[in-house]
Amino acid sequence: MIKKYMELVKFSHTIFSIPFILIAMVVAADGWFGWKLLFLGILAAVSARNFAMAVNRLVDRDIDAKNPRTQERPSVTGEITESQIKLFILANALIFIGVAYLINPLAFKLSIPILIVLGGYSYFKRFSEFAHLVLGVSLGLAPIAGAIAITASIPCWSVFLALGVMFWVAGFDILYSLQDMEFDKEEGLHSIPALVGEKGAIFISSMFHVFSVVFWALFAAYANLGFFGWLAVVLGGVMLYYEQKLVRRDFKNIPKAFFDVNGYLGIAFLILIILDKVS
């Protein structure tokens, strides 16, 4: 059953958000911030993402049942029932709020508004192409949450880091949505590919990724990072260029671009930021 829940929320995709909450924590603490906050930060990231993905699966069951790409999801096949999904959502929401309470008062005050944003994404594609950016905002909250955990404030550099994450996620989500472009058109769902077609979607995705690098550069500047910090920005740009190139070459490369390249990007970025703070 645990395996089915991990499949339900695509647990492996947590790799997209955890590195950036840790990056913010490392920068805010100017180094190591302690085992307690490490545990709480990871638990917050995991529970928040579990909550968001479970809400998405619950809301999208009717859509997923029609889409050949998603018909085998546990939420569609009935391997995990509606009541079980709702209980899972509630459990993760309570864990997230509880963790926020243990971190500091500001984190606790913002916990419910954050959950509202995370849950709201699931409804956007039914009426707006801005769904890609809303997903970006959802993951972009991670570095801001990381900074709050350490400083109980929202420093300027954390906003730039978050904006970089937002455009990074929105950019690769547009590429991922190319797989469902025709389905979205048929079902009246809103996405950038369905609105502007393949070439237009790839162009917008590439512009979003340019914005990512620009905001990550501003993050490096305002956080006064050194050589390794700037190397993280450059490497991030190179990896996003490679991602765009993979998709332009063949849409069959979309899963590789989505899972592999983006997963490695976050890990590499985190490692370089850690090196920047210990060197």
The three-class DSSP label of residue 9 is coil
Is residue 195 within 8 A of residue 129, CB to CB? The reply is: yes
> What's the pLDDT band for 169 if we cut at 50, 70, 90?
very high
Higher-scoring residue by pLDDT: 86, 64:
86
Give the per-residue pLDDT at 221: 97
Q: What is the pLDDT of residue 109?
A: 93
* Angle of CA points 190, 167, 25, to nearest 5°: 130
CB atoms within 10 A of CB 40: 19
148: which DSSP letter? H
Look at residue 2 and tell me whether its pLDDT is greater than 80: no
What is the reported pLDDT for 4?
57
- Structural domain range at position 125: 2-278
Q: Render pLDDT for 197-234 as a digit per residue (tens, 0 to 9).
A: 889 999 999 999 999 999 999 999 999 999 999 999 99
**Residue 178 vs residue 203, higher pLDDT:** 203
Domain at 236, CATH number: 1.10.357.140
Sign for the CA dihedral angle at 37, 144, 19, 151 comes to: negative
pLDDT, residue 11, reads 54
Closest residue by Cα to residue 258 from 268, 246, 270, 275: 246
* Per-residue pLDDT reduced to its tens digit, 125-135: 777 778 889 88
> What are the C-alpha distances in Å from 60 to residues 46, 55, 63, 168?
21, 8, 5, 24
228-244 pLDDT, tens per residue?
Answer: 999 999 999 999 999 99
Domain count, the chain: 1
At 141-165, the pLDDT tens digits run: 999 999 999 999 999 999 999 999 9
State yes or no: pLDDT of 9 exceeds 60. no
Q: Are 250 and 268 in contact, with CB atoms under 8 Å apart?
A: no
- Please indicate, yes or no, whether the overall pTM of this predicted structure exceeds 0.95: no
Judge contact between 60 and 180, C-beta under 8 A.
no
